[in-house]
Chains A and B, each alone.
Chain A
Amino acid sequence: MKETTMTYLKPIPVKTPDNSPYWDAADRHELVLQKCESCKEYLHPPGPSCAKCGSPAVSWEEIGNDIQGTIYSYVISHRPFLPGFQDDLPLIIAQVELDKVPEVKIMANVLDCDYEKIQIGMPVKMIWQDLPEGRSLPQWKPIDA
């Protein structure tokens, strides 16, 4: 991954007080999800309080690093809409429904996948793409790839 870290020109997730547990865990190659202690709903993306009931009582739950899901929706960019993506076209961006927590959908790129084969319902697994400075980005990959 050293070569990648030298040439990574895409945006790197910005940590904020509200999202840093998620990105800190990603850097450790683990997924954590925010959960509301009042209504017990999972909250993704995370925030300063529950976006479903308003409760400030939110906590974090470790989901681990063996994450599988299915494609819920996707788009395929044939043009870079942000800098750094020009060499990755066509780029698949997908919402993936987690097998363990179906109410949570996580947006990421589907890597190692022929863009003509992508479809809703396709099974994928989470992989961890290492970025510069010890950062890491959750990504998806077809399970049979």
Chain B
Amino acid sequence: MGKITDRYAIVGVGESERSKNSGKSPLHMALDAARAALNDAGLQATDIDGFMSYNENDSCTSHQLATYLGVRPKYVKDIMGGGSSTEMLISDAVALIEAGELNSVLIFRSMNGRSGVRMGGGGWDVNMLQTAIDGGSFIIPYGAGGPAQWFGMFATRHMHETGITQEHLGHVCTSFYEHAQRNPKAFFHGKPLTIEEYKATPYLSYPFNKHDFCLESDEANAIIVTSAERAKDCKSRPVYIMGLSSRQCHPHTHYWSDLSQVASDYVAPEVYKSAGVKPEDIQVASIYDCYSWVVLRQLEAFGFAPRGEVGNFVAEGNLRMGGKLPTNTAGGMLSEGYTHGMNNVLEIVRQLRHEYRESDRQVKDCEVGICTGWAGPDIAGAMILRN
């Protein structure tokens, strides 16, 4: 694809209502989010010729979305995927625009993540799970049925090796909950969390208590990607893609025998090289936060603090407004909402546009931001954006 720096932009972002019980189909919510993103960009639905989405068998298709927007698209794509899929689909969109196949692409994630299919589990057929998950029969019979346990296994080892404590996990949570108090649309708006309250909360799955888990919500998000040239015709302030590492993988198919490395370790050097910047150039971040520990491990991988010092980095308040790296400034998936990573993309775009300039939510004068994806320790992606 060659050097793509600053040649493509995110020109529209939008979301549906966020709730615990939408009473709507994923298609209906996807339409709400898509219309909001189109309105944000100042585009007509018919200006979009490519539609893409990711799902876990819990959504509508891109073809359905286009149909009910009244568009006959050139291109639709739906992939199975989790938390690093936004970066991957943006990369695919850029490649297709670069190749002259498409002009503008709308990417969405829509899920009744609370009232419909819950990632937190429940109701799964355990024999199906054993065969659906690679190596499933070696974990499911032992009760290891969800990401809390899989990522927790990495977390306990990492904490043992680096001296990160449960209190450090708590600083990630309290920082993001603090952001949610400035975001009236956040699920945990009005529900602040102190470190004392965090520490007094019983474990759900050690080393995690309920605050370390992302919440579950019914919600759809959409973003629109186009060329820098077409972005000039949009009404929004474009946010340019400086660099991408769409997806990289942990080197082993079965990662259980090696808890020391994660896919983000491989993504980080590539995304910085692609964007031509260093960690110290980043002024605002959206770090994938399905669990608090996942943030700490990525801060280490992406070079924001050396291994062994990540705990102090968060304890010093660096993830908060005014810190070195204000992170997940809308509250993140721990306290704003959960759309498998896409709500964090919307927020970084809004920060880089200085959309909150009249309020205390704005990271002052931020020019460069990073957004990371994490589909488990095994797959990750990231992008660096600028205003």
Flag if A107 contacts B138 (CB, 8 Å): yes
Return the contact of A75 from the options B140, B156, B257 (Cβ within 8 A). B156
Looking at chain A's contact residues, the main secondary structure is loop
Tell me if B127 is interfacial: C-beta within 8 Å of chain A. yes
* Chain A minimum-CB-distance residue to B251: A52
8 Å CB interface, B148-179 against A: 148-149, 152-154, 156-157, 160
Tell me if A109 is interfacial: C-beta within 8 Å of chain B. yes
- Closest CB-CB distance, A16 to chain B, in whole Å? 7
Question: Tally of A-B residue pairs with Cβ under 8 A?
Answer: 127
Tell me if A95 is interfacial: C-beta within 8 Å of chain B. yes
Tell me if B2 is interfacial: C-beta within 8 Å of chain A. no
Tell me if B74 is interfacial: C-beta within 8 Å of chain A. no
Return the contact of B126 from the options A73, A83, A120 (Cβ within 8 A). A83
Tell me if A78 is interfacial: C-beta within 8 Å of chain B. yes
Return the contact of A16 from the options B137, B139, B154, B204 (Cβ within 8 A). B137
Question: What's the interface size class on A, roughly?
Answer: 35 or more
Tell me if B308 is interfacial: C-beta within 8 Å of chain A. no
8 Å CB interface, A58-88 against B: 72-85, 88
Flag if B254 contacts A47 (CB, 8 Å): yes
Tell me if B259 is interfacial: C-beta within 8 Å of chain A. yes
B203 contact set on A, CB distance < 8 A: 76, 78
Flag if B131 contacts A45 (CB, 8 Å): no
CA distance A120 to B93 in the complex (A): 45
Flag if A44 contacts B257 (CB, 8 Å): yes
Most buried by B among A52, A74, A109, A120: A74
CA distance A108 to B149 in the complex (A): 12
Tell me if B252 is interfacial: C-beta within 8 Å of chain A. yes
- Closest CB-CB distance, A103 to chain B, in whole Å? 6
CA distance A105 to B256 in the complex (A): 7
Contact with B along A1-42 (1 / 0, CB 8 A): 000000000111111100100010000000000000000000
Return the contact of A93 from the options B124, B130, B142, B202 (Cβ within 8 A). B142
A95 contact set on B, CB distance < 8 A: 153, 157, 256-257, 259
Tell me if A91 is interfacial: C-beta within 8 Å of chain B. yes
| Shortest Cβ-Cβ A-B pairs, 9 listed | A45-B135, A76-B206, A73-B157, A82-B145, A51-B253, A75-B152, A11-B126, A81-B145, A45-B138
* 13 A-B contacts (beta carbon < 8 Å): A11-B127, A11-B130, A11-B140, A19-B137, A72-B157, A75-B156, A75-B206, A78-B203, A81-B144, A81-B205, A82-B143, A93-B153, A107-B142
Measured CB to CB, the residues of A under 8 A from B are 10-16, 19, 23, 43-45, 47, 51-52, 72-85, 88, 90-91, 93, 95, 103-109, 120, 137
Measured CB to CB, the residues of B under 8 A from A are 121, 124, 126-127, 129-131, 134-146, 148-149, 152-154, 156-157, 160, 202-207, 252-254, 256-257, 259
